Amino acid sequence: MPITPVDKIWMDGELVDWADARVHVLSHGVHYGSGVFEGIRCYETRSGPAVWHLEEHLKRLFRSAKLYHMEIPFSQEALADAVRETIRANGLTSCYIRPLVFRGYGEMGVNPLNAPVNVTIAVWPWGAYLGEQAIEHGVRVKVSSWKRNDQNSLPSAAKATGQYINGVLAKVESLKAGYDEAILLNQAGYITDGSGENVFAVRGGVLCTPPISAGCLDGITRATVMEMAAELGYQVREQNLTRTDLYNADEAFFTGTAAEITPIRELDDRVIGEGTRGPTTKELQGLFFSAVKGEVERYAAFLTPVA
């Protein structure tokens, strides 16, 4: 999806013009994928723009950095303020937010430890990740021939830039075969997640999603949806899922900051359920989209005002 440029990007403590937010080609992260990042959304609410689950996302950023021995030269509070400052500086009412911590310029070779740690925060307007139509009508998905990075090769708990090359292989394979998105299996053959989304199946009114130990990202939207589903009276289970479990589900959907809640209408050319958004998916979307817009009192605490 093309990026819509805005005015400013936050780089290592100051706002710079969008066009000046550059890095040297010999930055460590460009060569070795030595970076960690987050994807966050800011929504328009009645009391102004607000960031959804800012604290949880920044906590995960710090956990990802720890896994790669990167010391972030800013506190979590300072980065929370920087996110809000960047949104204000660009006058946006809703946007996608991309904090990035990467090994910069100064050293070459695989050892990252002597390269500086740089931090940037970019924001831009971003609509529905898998298309506006997808939220209502769902997407067609392919189980990838590429397996998810094994956890003892690359830790799935970390949202690291280099790890995404695994998802890139799967995503491109699915697009070239005419699908919208990929789902990756782990080495044991169980479902992990999509290239940028967690996966849920609904069967007989029970919501199932793979456990984190399957090798999926510990998604923040996944946790929210599990909480919302339980509150709506659904049974929620974290359990290993095979591709057949998804073929035979009544409904299936993706969750993610970018994808929000997107129905999966087909997997490997098998129509799932009625082949359109199912009633449970619709109900969860209803609650989720109301909550992010600040319309549900009990979820208001998850929104951090930008002002």
Residues 138-177 that bind ligand PMP (CB under 6 A): 167
Among 120, 257, 262, 285, binds ligand PMP (CB under 6 A): 257
Half-sphere exposure for 121 (CA within 13 Å, toward CB): 26
Is residue 221 close enough to count as binding ligand PMP by CB under 6 A?
A: yes
Query: CB of 196 within 8 A of CB of 259?
Result: yes
Residues 13-52 that bind ligand PMP (CB under 6 A): 39
Q: How many residues bind ligand PMP (CB under 6 A)?
A: 15
Alpha helices in 97-195 (DSSP H): 132-137, 164-176
Is residue 260 close enough to count as binding ligand PMP by CB under 6 A?
A: no
Is residue 112 close enough to count as binding ligand PMP by CB under 6 A?
A: no
CB of 113 to ligand PMP, least distance (A): 26
Per-residue tokens: 22:
């550059």
* AA identity, residue 191: I
Measured between alpha carbons, how far is residue 81 from residues 10, 290, 292 in Å? 11, 25, 20
Among 34, 90, 198, 262, binds ligand PMP (CB under 6 A): 198
Among 112, 196, 215, 294, binds ligand PMP (CB under 6 A): 196
| Choices 118-126, 201-209, 214-222, 296-304; region in contact with ligand PMP by CB under 6 A | 214-222
End-to-end CA gap in the chain: 28
Among 100, 217, 226, 287, binds ligand PMP (CB under 6 A): 217
What distance in Å separates the CA atoms of residue 248 and residue 234, rounded to the nearest whole number?
19
Measured between alpha carbons, how far is residue 210 from residues 30, 239, 246 in Å? 32, 5, 11
CB of 116 to ligand PMP, least distance (A): 25
Instruction: Tell me how many degrees the CA angle 186-191-193 measures, rounded to the nearest 5.
Output: 95
Among 8, 84, 140, 222, binds ligand PMP (CB under 6 A): 222
Residues that bind ligand PMP (CB under 6 A): 39, 167, 193, 196-198, 216-217, 219-222, 255-257
